[in-house]
Amino acid sequence: MPDHATEELPPGLASALRYGTFHDALRLAITHRGLSLSRLRAHLVRHHVAVGQSTLSYWQRGLRRPEVPHALPTVRALESVLHLPADSLVTLLGPRRARTPCLSLKTSFSQLRPATTGPVVDDLLAELGAYPAPTRYNADVDLLTVHTEVTLNSRGAMAEVASRLVVRGRAGRPDRYTIVHTADPGQRSGPVELRAADGCRAGRIRRHGDGILAAELLFDRRLAEGEVHVFGYAVRDTCETTSPGYFRMLRDPVSSYLLQIRFSPATLPARCVREFRAYEHSAPTEEEDLVCGLGAVASAYFDGAGPGIAGIGLEWNQTP
């Protein structure tokens, strides 16, 4: 076996292995070796380690970390396959995080914006006139309640995201609400499609590629200050990649957020975790294992959440 400790690594990867984080180091190591996740998983199988491709995707994106101690054999196998020094990834893992109450954190909008898609979304919102206030959009409404139902298909991939919102008008007398949808990465047979439900109709729509969409939902009137309005919409997707879960960015505090993921009864995940984090790739301030109950539905309720990112993370034993 080669001495990986003596192999020269790119400066960025070497720095990530020394200073963290785990997901940065893993992502850079995979890129350095030029492996797809499917090839990486095949190499791990030859090391007698079974791990789902979606789990590897989850780890390298920072949406979840391997749990100590039972994931240590998998992480050591990753070090071997990726030709990394022994224990270089293991040392970036701490003990399992305790489940703690959701913290009241003052998170700025710039921290919430995903580093990879934020600039793209900014451009789409600017085309819709949602800026010039780059730190705010939908500033003329208070978001009171959100109920989102995500439907996965028989492959465990995203099929539809349907949301119902309750908002209250501010002094600006709003007549629309702007939404952003960023789909799971992966191959898809067509662009995501927006369908307005009760309480609104689709206005202008702007896209980037097949997976990112920004759109206006137009009300049938201007809301008076303090007036409550209920409306809904759905985004239909054609992604072919197993979903790592669903997370919603809450720019402002919301009284209640209910997220439900509906699975195909024949394709259930190995684990569902309710998570809240202050911003993308930060450690969860709250996490809790969920039961995928009757009807193959997992539900997560967030009371008085935000600002931050709330959702359900999924782990699969193997790619469905």
Domains and CATH numbers, the chain: 4-92 (1.10.260), 109-315 (2.60.40)
Residue 97 has pLDDT above 50, yes or no: no
- What residues contact residue 71 under an 8 Å CB cut-off, 6+ apart? 93
What's the mean pLDDT in 259-267? 94
Q: Assign 247 a pLDDT band (cuts: 50, 70, 90).
A: very high
pLDDT band at 239 (very low <50, low <70, confident <90, very high): confident
Single out the residue of 121, 18, 20 nearest to residue 62, CA to CA. Answer: 20
Q: From CA 234, how far away is CA 283, in angstroms rounded?
A: 29
33-49 mean pLDDT? 90
**In this predicted model, which residue has the larger pLDDT, 64 or 192?**
192
For residue 84, is pLDDT > 50? yes
What is the average pLDDT across 157-162? 93
- For the chain, give the mean pLDDT: 83
pLDDT (tens digit per residue) in 266-317? 899 999 999 998 877 777 888 889 988 778 999 999 988 878 899 999 998 8
**Predicted local distance difference test score (pLDDT) of residue 201:** 97
Alpha carbon 40 to chain centroid, angstroms: 22
Which whole number is the average pLDDT over 43-64? 83
- Tell me the mean pLDDT in the region 29-45: 91
pLDDT of residue 136: 62
DSSP, res 310: E
- Could you tell me if 222 and 174 are in contact, meaning their C-beta atoms sit under 8 angstroms apart? yes
Most confident listed range (59-63, 137-141, 278-282): 137-141
pLDDT tens-place string over residues 167-224: 999 888 899 999 998 887 777 777 889 999 999 999 999 988 877 889 999 999 999 9
Confidence (pTM): 0.66
Q: Residue 279: which residues within 8 A CB-CB, separation 6 or more?
A: 107, 111, 112, 308, 309
